[in-house]
Structure 1
Amino acid sequence: MANSKFEYVRLFEQQDGLLPNTWIVVRIDGRGFTKFATRYGFEKPNDKRALDLMNAAAKMVMTELSDITIAYGSSDEFSFVFHKSCILFERRASKLVSTIVSTFTAYYIHYWPTYFPDTLLTPPLPSFDGRAICYPSVQNLRDYMSWRQVDCHINNLYNTTFWSLIQLGGLDAKEAEKTLAGTLAADKNEILFSRFKINYNNEPEMFKKGSVLFRDYELVEPGTHNAAEEAENLAIPVQQSKTQAENDKKKRAKARVTVEHLDIIKDDFWDRRPWLLSNKPGKVPKQT
């Protein structure tokens, strides 16, 4: 690059590097999505089309960025996780976040006609913001993922009860809020069942648990590996040869990114999918 007297402006750029040897989570959220959902008439308390659209955009982000090991989403947010051993193309927070946000937003708009074929998307167009957080341990990462899923359950139970009081019970928003003030989960379940014959346990799993995305390898038996311990003991990223790195990249490209609605809080989810913590591609299941 040629030097010039104007080049001094680069001195104003601030370092925003991400800590090495940490799990990096990039979480994105819809900007002004309450108004956006109202504008396009999203169904309450959940609009399956909107959630499927979020999942489709997230799936393409994972497909394009093979360093993402797992993603979790609910409502208008998604978290993308990079393994601690990844030698990322960019370890600057601003660049990594902007890549995730721009890619997700582009696919969200691209797939809009697929899920809302009768609704023209017009300006102001949907947009998302994001942040990058570093977690030093497997337990920190799992606690983060558990927090997001618990938050999904709490919000969905409240919203399901709130909108049932309005749509089925004839209350207005203020009356519904007053009815739910100070209630516990058991109280909300009782309101749903006693007033509206709704068993919350029978609600769709996507609404209750959110969506988890990962590459679909063959499940393994719990106790046959120690992926979590190996990840915790990893002091520095494993230096792979160029051939090894290319082989792993090809294996990830062959693996289908799947969207599931599972409990990610219990150990079983992680124990049966060691590749999430080891970052070693598993065995691709045979196509049926």
Structure 2
Amino acid sequence: MTGQAASPVPVRVRAPGKVNLALCVDRLGDDGYHRVISVFQAVSLYEDVLASPADELSLTVAGLQAERVPTDATNLAWRAAELLAAHAGVEPAVALHIVKGVPTAGGMAGGSADAAAALVACDALWRTNLPREELAELAAELGSDVPFALVGHTAVGTGRGHEVTAAMTLGEYHWALGLRDEGLSTAAVYGAFDDAGGGAGDWDDEPPTDLMQALRAGDPAALGATLRNDLEEHAIALNPALAEAVRVARLAGALGVVVSGSGPTVAALGRSAQHALAIAAAMTAAGVVDDVATAVGGVPGARVVGGIGA
């Protein structure tokens, strides 16, 4: 066993959801995966994971769309606890409680945030004291978005999206998020992308130059003009109502609008916090979304906010 005896003190860890400023997707490879280049930005919608001492592994969920979240071994947070325990040579004895603030199946990586938070929380609770680099390796085994949830802020993901490098950015960015009660299956969206022959062009191993320049300059208007998601048209084909949310956000003066990840969350970039609120109000008034939120990016990745090390 790595580290000391487990702590009797519960640990609370907070991890952010994300929007994809760019999601560039290559054709399906022979290995069954797509190469992607994703520019992630962590935003201030959060998942909280409370890890408490227990005799065995258990999981409960509360908060936004909690009824849609599994509480068994199919949950990424559960899998994260099991993976860390096996790696560190400890018993997976922990009671995990998730408080959700990120939409489920919304393209904002709420499940990945849960997994990252569970890794950090269990590492603190069990005092396994793994370096962040080692946690990141475990995170990559759990899913392609999990390593970014550890890092946060703004970063570039390559490979399957799991190889994460921090991006140079200035300023903060204000988002209006159009949410839907019914999620979209990532597998279904990628399947539609493949069926349409997606990714058939030349592949560039670098993130979009104009987008990265906008981030380095701290220029929201330039960033808005360069938002990109190669899956967007396929997400809209599966859920045509998304097109109306995109249209309304643009009419409200958004600097740029993009479907986040595989959708169905529509992310609209505002000029300011007040403008983001106005865009959200326009989407609500038009009845094109089920709910709205506003958020700022980029915020830190998974971190302890209560208990040990807080």
TM-score normalised by length of structure 2: 0.23
Q: Please identify which structure carries the higher helix content.
A: 1
